[in-house]
Structure 1
Amino acid sequence: MNGNGGDHADDVFEALSDVQRRKLLVDLLEHNPQTVETISEASREVGGMSEGLKEEYLASDAEISGADKSHVRLYHVHLPMLVEYGFVEWDRESNTVVKGARFDAIRPVLELLEENHETLPAGWL
């Protein structure tokens, strides 16, 4: 990751490579701050697994009672990545996400996506 400098375009496109991150970032254009859902205890425990076990669980069809894969990804993959890149700031106690110090670096691409959302293929936003 190039969160501390380097090629900013790589950071932008890596951040936008997942639909859950794209939706959150586009929503921040108009609604800052955003509140994210509270993570369940089961999802929190999954997030505490070793990286290998967590990745295996997220890539599988396996289910863990009370765990929500989208919440695990949001809390343990997506939000940490966006924070590292500086695109968002995340208050874990209040479940609040706001634009980060580098949000303006990603803004032009987000605006392009938002302005053209009706012509984009299904599932892009």
Structure 2
Amino acid sequence: MSLEARVTNCRRVVDRWDAVFEAITAEPRRQLIVSLLDAPADQVVSLPESAVNPDVPADAERLRQELFHVHLPKLEDQGFIHWDRDPLTASRGPRFEEVAVVFSALHANAVDIPDSLVIGCHRLESERQERAES
């Protein structure tokens, strides 16, 4: 591979990682990705329910507006999801695995994650307990 091709490829990879990390900077987007990860690959999930942290109450109308205007377009623009307005649902997009792998890795390594990032996160607490017991 030529140096120019290697640099071009490296820039593409950096851009993809930047997109992944930008996608997971907001809790509703993280919750939606985990909901889709938990669902069968060809299944749609209902919104806003699938974007709500079960341990943190949310204002459903405000969340719905944020989903429409911020979160869903951001995830769809990167190919991570597809979404429909009526009824409000989401499904995996062609690049879903790029973002899902981050959560799969976190869940698989929950025992190694610092308490400050686990305690209070029901999903990681459960994953940690399951892994510690096995």
Unaligned runs of 5+ residues in structure 1 are 39-66
Residue 76 and residue 108 in structure 1: after superposition, are their counterparts in 2 closer, same or farther (change >3 A)? same
Counterpart of 2:38 (choices 30, 38, 41) is 30
| TM-score normalized with structure 2 length | 0.59
When Rg is computed on C-alpha atoms for both structures, the one with the higher figure is 2
Q: Relative contact order: is structure 1 or structure 2 higher (C-alpha 8 Å, sep ≥ 6)?
A: 1
CA deviations over 1:65-120 (Å, ceiling 9, x no partner): xx832221111100010000100000112212000011011121021233356753
Residue 17 of structure 1 is matched in structure 2 by 25
RMSD over aligned Cα atoms: 2.8
| TM-score normalized with structure 1 length | 0.63
Alignment of 1:1-125 (within 5 A): 6=12, 7-31=15-39, 32-37=43-48, 68-116=61-109, 119=113, 120-121=117-118, 122=120
Unaligned runs of 5+ residues in structure 2 are 1-10, 50-59, 124-134
Q: Following the alignment from structure 1 to structure 2, what is the Cα–Cα distance between the partners of residues 89 and 15?
A: 14
CA deviations over 1:41-73 (Å, ceiling 9, x no partner): xxxxxxxxxxxxxxxxxxxxxxxxxx8322211
Q: Secondary structure at 1:97's aligned position in 2?
A: strand
Q: Following the alignment from structure 1 to structure 2, what is the Cα–Cα distance between the partners of residues 71 and 113?
A: 27
Q: Secondary structure at 1:68's aligned position in 2?
A: helix
Amino acid at match of 2:31: K
Give the number of the structure whose residues are more often helix, by fraction.
2
Percent identity between the two aligned chains? 35
| Poorly superposed stretches of 4+, deviation over 6 Å | none
